Structure 1
């Protein structure tokens, strides 16, 4: 009987500690409702490419209603600009056979209101560099949305910008995203 009372006491005490641990859960971006795209500017025209072949995963703190960790991986050859020749040229320029994906991971995520700042690492063209992405978070009807945009300088990652008719695109790839996580 003493052991039973002692065991119950331990369980009750541990229950108090356990209830103070924030509830965290893995969340996965819904690729059907999420978007990931890039844009490039060329002296003669600008164009965009959209990918539906990406993975976004995070750790969501249910108590604070915030992401604590995020990781995103996108297949370079999955972008569709509506022009297969252009897509092939971009894939060739970025060495997609050698470097098939781009990833971003962050464990340092901070919030000011609905503004989200994720400091992490970007892996592009086989090079890993510290990188910061800023976005906006919205929570609506059980769906966590994180959206934003950022620029990646191709030269900094060892990529020569694609060219057309002897003229190169801008060095900056403009990336925009809108991830939807069902909670």
Structure 2
């Protein structure tokens, strides 16, 4: 009986595996209303992703250190880290709970942990598999106020509440 159970469960372990991050970037974009753009990015990405057989079976976490986000202005970055409470909430992460597929398009169903607040966030993604290589890209927006973060002000200028986010990952089975 024990041998039969092992034979039945063995295929489950053989088709499931970790996805290794080859490279990637996460970019953010916002604006100081009426003044300038702010475009921090990071390529220091961590992942804990698994896949069974199909792309829709990908689950796990994508994360960055909040302080790995760097723009073209170091002083502004320091203000950004303070606004994001990066000393208290070191990582920004997205947990993929499931993936839906419809007509070759994908939707990631998950939760974003941003500034210490976790909220459900579903985003559209392009996912392409070629052999053992998988590329995942997504563009979406969030409001920082939804995560309990007040957009900073500089004199009479305010930073926009909305952040546009671009994610590009190259993974390998």
Match of 2:120 among 127, 130, 138: 130
3-state DSSP of counterpart to 1:170: coil
Instruction: Show the counterpart of 2:101.
Output: 111
Instruction: Show the counterpart of 2:49.
Output: 58
3-state DSSP of counterpart to 1:81: coil
Instruction: Show the counterpart of 1:25.
Output: 17
**Is contact 1:58–1:67 with CA below 8 Å preserved after alignment?**
no
Match of 1:74 among 58, 64, 80: 64
Q: Deviations over 1:46-96 (max 9, x none)?
A: 12111122212211123x244430311111111111210111111111111
3-state DSSP of counterpart to 1:129: strand
Tell me how far apart the structure 2 counterparts of residues 102 and 13 of structure 1 sit (CA, whole Å). Answer: 41
So what's the TM-score if we normalise by structure 1? 0.82
User: What's the CA shift for 1:12?
Assistant: 7.4
Instruction: Show the counterpart of 1:41.
Output: 31
Tell me how far apart the structure 2 counterparts of residues 110 and 96 of structure 1 sit (CA, whole Å). Answer: 32
- Kindly tell me the number of residue pairs found equivalent between the two proteins: 171
Two-structure CA RMSD over aligned residues (Å): 2.2
CA 1:73–1:167 in structure 2 vs 1: closer, same or farther (change >3 Å)? Answer: same
3-state DSSP of counterpart to 1:149: strand
Match of 2:156 among 163, 166, 169: 166
Structure 1 unmatched ranges of 5 or more? 1-6
Q: Deviations over 1:124-160 (max 9, x none)?
A: 1111111112211011353100101111111111111
Tell me how far apart the structure 2 counterparts of residues 181 and 40 of structure 1 sit (CA, whole Å). Answer: 28
Tell me how far apart the structure 1 counterparts of residues 127 and 66 of structure 2 sit (CA, whole Å). Answer: 26
Structure with larger Rg:
1
